[in-house]
Amino acid sequence: MHLHQVSGRSRLGLALSLLTVLLWGLLAIALKIVLQQLDPFTVTWFRFTFAGIVLGGYLAIRRQLPTWQQLKKVSLPVFLVAVAGLSLNYILFLTGLGKTSANNAQVLTQLAPMMMGIASLIIFKEKYNYQQWVGVAILICGLVLFSHEQVRSLVINLNSYMWGNTLLILGAIVWAFYGLAQKQLLLNLPSTSVLLCLYLSAAVLFSPLAHPERLLTLSGMHLIALIFCALNTVIAYGAFAAALEHWEASRVSVILTLAPIVTLTASSILPSFVPQLLSPSPLSLLGWIGAIAVVVGSMTTSLGTNLRN
């Protein structure tokens, strides 16, 4: 089996990974707001439909829509894994988020890029050097400290959080399968074409479960949050897919672990501007030390060798 090879433009891969982190870090907060008025299936259907229409229109204007000859070269089993993984990740994450908190959801979701990174070392024969493994160790310690308050909360509120956490963990597992399948799809299609096919397929899957009429009942701030989530789908996953073209999956996955820090920072700042929608989520000194360790560990791992243009 032929395996996808990266372009070697590491700086571009890093920049795209960081953009993905920023958008995914804010996404959990925006979704938490939207869930106050919409159900998970309608939100997910709208995000995929919006993304498919926008991306499809963009590719049509640029005359870059995938051809039938290109589509015939795609492995159907791999494509089905990617569609199933992405669709299940969206709905499992959103349902779990509704039962927990944005910070907690982001912390547990970090299982996804870590599992994808380890799997890519095996499947794609990517390698970590000693410095990178040290970074992984620092990152793991940082995640433990960072999630200290959330873990303590889980012990106290086990009954209310248990089901949500189970869904989030399952969502992280299926996302790892999606990420690896998408990397293989890049053998025959550019990243934009892969995402277009995935978005449209997922939109069709969720259409029987969605209630589009409920979109008309959204208030101003909730509508803005929903539009942000929809745009986030297009831009964040586009940046993620493009990053995989230029950087090893194992390194991209490590950078993605920075998302909880973005979520935490935003959760501390945004409630001051929209107190009617969000409540502050303070973090202890131990939690901040863990957050810094996550940053250090992530950067140590992803930048284990010199960046190349």
**Residues 254-272 as b or e (16 or more Cβ within 10 Å = b):** bbbbbbbbbbbebbeebbe
Q: 146 in a domain, yes or no?
A: no
pLDDT for residue 196: 92
Distance between CA atoms of 290 and 271, rounded to whole angstroms? 23
Q: In what helix (H) or strand (E) does residue 193 lie, and over which residues does it extend?
A: helix 191-206
Q: 149 in a domain, yes or no?
A: no
Query: Which of 10-24, 68-82, 113-127 shows the lowest per-residue confidence on average (mean pLDDT)?
Result: 113-127
Which residues lie below 8 Å from residue 99, measured CB to CB, with a gap of 6+? 160, 161, 163, 164, 167
Q: Which pLDDT tens digit goes with each residue over 213-246?
A: 999 989 888 999 999 999 998 888 788 878 888 8
Q: Which pLDDT tens digit goes with each residue over 46-79?
A: 999 999 999 999 999 999 898 888 888 888 999 9
Q: Which amino acid is at 132?
A: Q
Q: 287 in a domain, yes or no?
A: no
Mean pLDDT on 121-130? 76
Q: 91 in a domain, yes or no?
A: yes
Which domain range does residue 82 map to? 10-127+158-249
Tokens of 292: 């810094």
pLDDT for residue 265: 86
Query: Which of 18-22, 95-99, 256-260, 302-306 shows the lowest per-residue confidence on average (mean pLDDT)?
Result: 302-306
Q: 133 in a domain, yes or no?
A: no
Domain tally for the chain? Answer: 1
Query: Which of 76-85, 123-132, 136-145, 186-195 shows the lowest per-residue confidence on average (mean pLDDT)?
Result: 123-132
Q: 138 in a domain, yes or no?
A: no
Distance between CA atoms of 191 and 4, rounded to whole angstroms? 12
Which residues lie below 8 Å from residue 155, measured CB to CB, with a gap of 6+? none
Q: 222 in a domain, yes or no?
A: yes
Q: 263 in a domain, yes or no?
A: no
